[in-house]
Structure 1
């Protein structure tokens, strides 16, 4: 061996020794150097496009992408922070996200409804007769005529009234006080007024026809007689209503009943005079809910000095409902209602959002009371919250936090461990897997077995014909060649 060959051999040996030393000091697969030179512990590998896909060693994801490591220090830092949905500020701006503060103040809830005008029952008089007789003359000919208190309504001929007048005049003539008092009481019982009795005593002449007078101002609502008709006690001759004050009958839905109470102020407008607003009060809240319409009746009282309000007029009513003191409330549009729960989206700042389960209370216009789940001063999303809620529902950590708060089941946690799941041997053909190692097998494009997941770490025993999945992702199918 000459000198040249010795030089080449020495160079090769030195190069091999250097390479061997370098490979010996490379970081292991389960660690990586930090800035201080310390090794970082790798917990597992995840797919770049699917954080639910995990593996205990490097490899390819179902989409063919390289798995990326998750280090212990990064996981610890993330777990120390509150789970939140992070969105780029530019995306937040493009989504048109708007926010509002949770406020605490007094809630007022005006109740709007419609009603119709009706006479005040307390100011309705039924005019009848207290003795048999005949209507000889009617002073009011038609309904809806206006009369004043003391105006004659009709004349009646009654033999009993004629006899009672005669007895009264005889008692006056004899100046018998007891007879006068008894005769006077009988005339009143038969329907004569004090003024008519005084006129009779003054004239000392029996009137065969007796006037029946109006007991109050009002309008004739019903007129049931005509001249010449025979009437007897119990027959309603006419109905007289004083319209100086009227009732308005309205209805509200049962979910508004908590805001309405007797004595509250009310306002009313009429289509025939929209520029005027009538002021009234809630006179009575009926205690029964209508089983068909699911509404509660209200009776409101309004003054009607100019008699503009007519029975059966339609009206729009606004009731100044009860106030809820020191109530925590948010904009009604911010509340997300589902079939079993209610929630809002909290804006944590710096593009971070998180769902929060709440319990709502009474509604007051565009505000809604929050009984639990929020605190005064917190910021919530009022626009695009449904998009954020949909995105948050895809995050395992956020949904676990949400379901734990709402006492829900753990079914939303998709990181389910199937390491001990075994399959029915009938579903695998031993002949097709004989001696095969399928750790890197691509099963795309074959039959789907719903309810199973990725089998990149699955090995098959040809003798038993079974398969064991070390890591599976729920919701994805298993394919076999």
Structure 2
């Protein structure tokens, strides 16, 4: 067996780190063990740039929901991790501004009613002054004064109507409560009609809850963080040497440790404007669709930026790869019953195929099935030689 090895080693040049170990398995045993070989193929592979990055929330789909008025939290309905719908009530506030706003609305309605009654009186006075003037029993000045008074009252009505609409809008659309005090609870009691709701701005997941019952919130203070996790961002660090080849819009393949062997497609949305002086990198923002929620904020991963140029590359099936003594090897058929274990350096994975950067040549026959049988035979032979 060793005599044949030297002759083949001279005929087939290999990388220095390739193993020259061989295993002999007769054809019957190969058939029984399901050994199948395939030819190492050459494919055109898009060139890429590999960078690292951190997955974060998509700020365009993240909402920091807070209080619009000062108030005390009296009800909380959700916790971190809950799914919510747009408009869903997350919490309710008790605020003195509710009573002040209702009082302002009631005063505006009262003033409008007073002016309308005054308008009816001014109309009667104006009509009487006109009749007296037509009968020569009254002066033109009196008729014009009555007409002017009516117009003043009507202008006041228009202003009052505007004030009623404004105070009602503040209550209904801004505070989201009924304009009139319900008045059906016992003295000192309050119902939902008195409490200002804090609502979800959009469908999403509650990521943070920053309040509890009894918390006092100021206008604009953040109470909840809600995010739609169906898409995320990756902030990638792009080296200075790649700036000339990277452009927004480029396709990206992202891999993370928790889903080894799976690539998540994305797109480079934009490049930063300021270079990090310590790392000499520029931040690139990658948009990552996440329809099944497999990616999580704060995960770290690798991103391959797909360049428009292509290069030739050799590929072997993933099933051909075996681990022997700390090296990744494939078994190359060098004779009908002889396989040589060659160490290979691997690159990118594409649809069950792995790029072979070294160790094999185009046209080599590599065992893609039954490779474990060959590995076992090789290890037994090694043990026998050691003995």
TM-score (norm 2): 0.50
Q: Greater RCO between the two (CA within 8 Å, min separation 6)? A: 2
Q: Bigger radius of gyration, 1 or 2?
A: 1
| Larger helix share, 1 or 2 | 2
